[in-house]
Each structure stands twice: as C-alpha cells, then as structure tokens.
Amino acid sequence: MQTFLEILKANNIDVLVDLREKPCSRVKGFSIRKLEAALKEVAIKYEWMGKLLGGFTVSRESWLEGCETLAALARSHTVVMMCMEARSSQCHRKELGKILENDHGIVSTDL
C-alpha cells in the first residue's frame, strides 16, 4: 500500500476514482474502507464510481452519466482511475481514457 500511495503522490494525484463495481479486495488495504482511510491520510480524495462506470453490468445510460461526471472531475483535479486490472490495456479504463480524450479533450496516461 505504501508504494501505491507514493506513486500517487509522486504524480500529484489528488483524487482516486475507484471503478470497481464491488470495491473489495483480497489484497490488504485495497477494500473500500481501508483504501479510503489510507488515501485520506495523504490528502487524496476517494471517489467510488463503480455504479456508473463499473466494467460488467453497467447500463449505457449509467456509463454516459459516469463519463460526464468523471470528465467534470478531471477538469478540476488530477485524477487516477483504479479498478481490478493492473494494466489499462486489459481493462475498461483504456476505453474511458479514449472517451475522456476524444469527447472531452482530457488526456490520460498510465501510471
């Protein structure tokens, strides 16, 4: 967890957007309560958006609403998206990054 937090701080992240539909984890420290508490200690805001932008069962309407919400957040903050997949190339974060760039002019990169 410490290395994860250091990476976020080194990249000036001020908001972590959790895209997991079920924000729990077998990895110590990455379930919603512990993750949110750890982020708060290093002044990073936690936003759970799994209901809108989760990768499996989200409706198109929720997805579009989530994209708008995420774009608005990214306009005023340095945001990182997190889900269960370690690599964005194997995840719906890649598609979200394309939407942010193509539809909202917000460039995303991998950490």
Chain segment 14-60, per-residue pLDDT in tens: 999 999 999 999 899 999 999 999 999 999 999 999 999 987 788 88
DSSP class of 79: E
Q: What is the pLDDT averaged over residues 75-87?
A: 90
Bridge partners for 79 per DSSP: 15
How, if at all, do strands 15-18 and 79-82 pair? parallel
Q: Which of 110, 20, 86, 95 is nearest to 64 (CA)?
A: 95
